[in-house]
């Protein structure tokens, strides 16, 4: 099978129970629990009305401005999957618009991420279906290929493999590797519990802020 124009099966995917436990967690806290080392860059922004995106990755690598393989991915992805498209970051031609979004909703997908552009932005902005993209253009896509489905891709240095956990909110999206999902989930749940405790202390006026001066002194700051 030639590299560059192929459709591969997905060998594994994070379990639905893992997806549901990640769903209420902020992307920022997940990112912190991954050592603040993994991100898809600030260009990939939510384009929908609002709401969380959570599900296993169904990856697509396509030629910039071409959406043939994205159409195929929408047809064969499982309900609950997040289609993640590496379109090279080019914003010249849109990869999806309102009609493709309607098809994804009909098929029960969980969202789409595009390192590329969308169009029909007003219509997409009125929908709850999660759409994350790098920009907007009115120019439509080509449908000639090539492209690949269910291969490892990378967006701004963040590697995404088929079946990885994808989580997105207003801050952006993050991919959690299949093998790391359980560990990152436990760490993020612990961080979330700690932050909830801190918030209660802030509201009660009992939080200990002595660490600020202690840090400044340790770093040699004058005037502390």
For residue range 87-105, what is the model confidence (pLDDT) as tens digits? 999 999 999 999 999 999 9
- How confident is the model at residue 41, as a pLDDT? 87
- Record the pTM: 0.95
Q: What DSSP element (H or E) covers 159?
A: strand 158-160
- Are 119 and 138 in contact by the 8 Å Cβ rule? The answer is yes
- Terminal Cα distance for the chain, rounded: 66
What lies within 8 Å, CB to CB, of 37 at 6+ separation is: none
pLDDT exceeding 90 applies to what percent of the chain? 97
- Are 162 and 151 in contact by the 8 Å Cβ rule? The answer is yes
Q: Round to whole Å and give the CA distance between 13 and 4.
A: 23
Nearest to 98 by CA among 76, 77, 125, 116: 125
Q: What is the pLDDT of residues 117-167, one digit of tens each?
A: 999 999 999 999 999 999 999 999 999 999 999 999 999 999 999 999 999
Q: Which residues are annotated as a binding site for Mg(2+)?
A: 120
What lies within 8 Å, CB to CB, of 159 at 6+ separation is: 152, 153, 175, 177
- Are 148 and 69 in contact by the 8 Å Cβ rule? The answer is yes
Q: Round to whole Å and give the CA distance between 102 and 115.
A: 20
Q: Which residues are annotated as a binding site for substrate?
A: 97-100, 119
Q: Round to whole Å and give the CA distance between 22 and 167.
A: 7
Q: What is the pLDDT of residues 191-217, one digit of tens each?
A: 999 999 999 999 999 999 999 999 999
> Beta strands 172-176 and 165-169: pairing type?
antiparallel
Q: Which residues are annotated as a binding site?
A: 97-100, 119-120
Residue ranges of domains in the chain? 6-179, 188-219
The fold adopted by the segment(s) 6-179 is Glucose Oxidase; domain 1 (3.50.30)
């Amino acid at each position: 099978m030639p590299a560059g124009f192929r459709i591969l099966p997905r060998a594994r995917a994070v379990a639905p129970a893992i997806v549901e436990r990640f769903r209420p967690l902020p992307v920022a806290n997940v990112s912190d629990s991954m050592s603040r080392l993994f991100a898809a860059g600030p260009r990939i922004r939510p384009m929908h009305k609002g709401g969380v995106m959570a599900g296993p990755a169904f990856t697509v690598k396509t030629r910039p401005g071409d959406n043939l393989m994205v159409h195929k991915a929408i047809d064969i992805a499982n309900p609950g999957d997040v289609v993640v498209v590496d379109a090279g970051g080019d914003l010249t031609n849109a990869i999806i618009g309102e009609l493709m979004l309607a098809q994804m909703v009909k098929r029960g997908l969980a969202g789409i991420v595009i390192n590329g552009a969308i169009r029909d932005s007003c219509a997409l902005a009125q929908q709850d279906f999660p759409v994350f993209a790098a920009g907007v253009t009115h120019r439509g896509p080509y449908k000639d290929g090539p492209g690949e489905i269910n291969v490892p891709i990378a967006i701004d240095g963040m590697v995404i493999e088929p079946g990885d956990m994808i989580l997105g909110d207003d801050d952006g999206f993050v991919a959690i590797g299949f093998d790391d999902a359980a560990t990152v989930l436990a760490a993020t749940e612990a961080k979330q519990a700690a932050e909830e405790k801190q918030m209660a202390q802030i509201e009660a006026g009992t939080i200990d802020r002595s660490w600020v001066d202690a840090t400044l002194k340790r770093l040699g700051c004058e005037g502390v």
